[in-house]
Amino acid sequence: MMTSNIAESLKAALKAARNLPIDILFELLRSLVQKWVWNNSNNANGTFTKVATPTKNELRHDIVLKMKYDVLPFNPIEYQVRDEKGINFTVNIHNKTCTCNRFQEDEMPCGHAVAVIA
């Protein structure tokens, strides 16, 4: 049974054990809490997602790329970045977004954002 109150959960789980001697009741309570902690810990460990952190070479590559970009401000938070092929990207520094989507996906500034920041 799922409840938001731990006391209700314990009360329901120990309903049948109320008439047992106190030492057995405490051991049952200890093992029940241990089981809950184990299950919740295993469930929580399965929900994490590893995020690939960029290597130094990838960051250097972004810095080298930004040297080839033309940056034109729309306003203090939005910028148009034109790459060496003439393709335009829009970078929003406040929202941490870029139309190449790499800024949002990696949660690290893409080359276009690096050019704007620089």
* C-beta separation of 98 from 90 below 8 A: yes
Distances in Å between the Cα of 27 and the Cα atoms of 7, 9, 34, 36 are 17, 17, 10, 14
pLDDT tens-digit map of 53-105: 667 777 777 766 667 788 889 888 899 999 888 889 999 988 999 999 988 88
pLDDT tens-digit map of 89-98: 999 988 999 9
pTM of the model: 0.48
Q: From the CB of residue 10, how many other CB atoms can be counted at a distance below 10 Å? A: 15
Report which of residues 75 and 3 the model is more confident about.
Answer: 75
pLDDT tens-digit map of 9-59: 778 877 878 888 888 888 888 888 888 888 887 777 766 666 566 677 777
Q: Give one DSSP letter per residue of 61-94, joined into a string.
A: HHHHHHTT-EEEESSSSEEEEE-TTS-EEEEETT
